[in-house]
Amino acid sequence: MSGLIGIVFVIANVAIKTGFLVTGDIMPIVDFYFTIVDHGQWVPAYASYIPQFSWLAQFLAVNGFSLILYSILFRLIEFRGISKQFANRSKFVRRFGTIAFTNYNNQWYFFIVWAFTSFILKGTAYAKLQWGGTALVILLTLGFYSLINWAWEKIGYIGSLEWFIRTITNNLIPVRRARFGPDVKWWQKGQVDAETQFYNADWIDIVERPGITTETKEEIVKTRTDFRDSKLSFILSIVGLVSIFFFITSIFGLLVAINSRKREGKNKYNQAGFIISIVAIVVVVSVFTALSNIKIGVLGLI
């Protein structure tokens, strides 16, 4: 919150120093705000109209919102006992993190896909593409990455940066070397065991989900009256409706509301959460669409 308040004061200061109140030119403010992802540009050295210590507000806001998002994910996953289910549904994304250093280093995959796509669409490699072609390159690059990672997984990612690191440490450090039997070859000590580290890891939940039961759906709903997920969907939907920065919680609230209907039956909490989430999503999408099609000049800002 302190970072958000700081950003408001910084933008107000930028508006004053750039003469917005006199000229009505909002573009310097917009251009400055778009640099919020770049920590190094929130300093006076980048532009004279940027106040001192603006970087502190940017740092607190960006990292604060990241921590909030992680906390929300913990509440939605570990505190609901669905770590394994979530992991199974997010394999596509999680696989990129298994060899994160290698994937970061292998961004040259993009140029292969770009050359191929450009040649198919334009007849020449590395040609500039329109939005449709750009989106196609992004999708094909992600697919290319995923296919290579999936195939590489079958041999324990031998040759990856992670494999090199594990091979060196598992062969040179006595404590780590002792974990392997004498029949394990030196190069096998660096392999990533996808079966135990990716597919069947030791998932940790704060709250355990009820296991297999002989109760009917109606009996389960009757005996479990805490409505934990239903209340959560209601809270998330309210937060998403009354705030702009936490709009994404409306989407979470809608998904939790739909899921809680199956587990806890329809009740006043998930019904309200379902409706409020939809209202919040419709309102934000409508406002965003309207503002995207209205020129700034129409609003009298320039």
Supply the DSSP string of the chain, one letter for each residue: -HHHHHHHHHHHHHHHHTTHHHH---HHHHHHHTTTT-GGGSSTTT-TTSPTTHHHHHHHHHHHHHHHHHHHHHHHTGGGT-HHHHHHHTHHHHHHHHTHHHHHHTTTHHHHHHHHHHHHHHSSTT----HHHHHHHHHHHHHHHHHHHHHHHTTTTTTSHHHHHHHHHHHHSHHHHTTS-TTS-GGGGG---HIIIIIS-----SSPPP------HHHHHHH----HHHHHHHHHHHHHHH-STTTHHHHHHHHHHHHHHHHH-S-HHHHHHHHHHHHHHHHHHHHHHHHHHS-GGGGT--
Question: What is the mean predicted confidence (pLDDT) over 91-116?
Answer: 94
Question: Amino acid letter at 215?
Answer: E
Which stretch, 38-47, 137-146, 286-295, has highest mean pLDDT? 137-146
Within its chain, how far is the Cα of 209 from the centroid? 25
pLDDT band at residue 277, thresholds of 50, 70 and 90?
A: very high
CA distances from 121 to 116, 118, 126, 129 (A): 9, 5, 11, 9
Token digits of residue 185: 């070859």
Alpha-carbon span 229 to 269, nearest angstrom? 9
Domain assignments of the chain as residue spans, ordered by start: 2-76, 100-199, 217-293
Alpha-carbon span 24 to 16, nearest angstrom? 11
34 vs 78 pLDDT, higher one: 78
> Nearest to residue 235, comparing CAs of 286, 280, 288?
280
- In the chain, the percentage of residues whose pLDDT exceeds 90 is 45
Alpha-carbon span 127 to 117, nearest angstrom? 9
The residues, ordered by sequence, that sit 6+ positions from 28 with a Cβ below 8 Å of its Cβ are: 14, 18, 20, 49
Give the number of other Cβ atoms within 10 Å of residue 33's Cβ.
12
pLDDT digits (tens, 9 = 90+) for 174-229: 999 999 999 999 999 999 988 888 898 888 888 876 554 444 555 555 555 578 88
Question: Amino acid letter at 126?
Answer: Y
The residues, ordered by sequence, that sit 6+ positions from 66 with a Cβ below 8 Å of its Cβ are: none
Alpha-carbon span 32 to 27, nearest angstrom? 8
pTM assigned to the model: 0.69
Q: For residue 14, what pLDDT is reported?
A: 85
Q: For residue 213, what pLDDT is reported?
A: 44
Give the number of other Cβ atoms within 10 Å of residue 221's Cβ.
18
CA end-to-end distance (rounded Å), the chain = 30
Question: For the ranges 8-12, 22-26, 254-258, which has the lowest average pLDDT?
Answer: 22-26
The residues, ordered by sequence, that sit 6+ positions from 258 with a Cβ below 8 Å of its Cβ are: 274
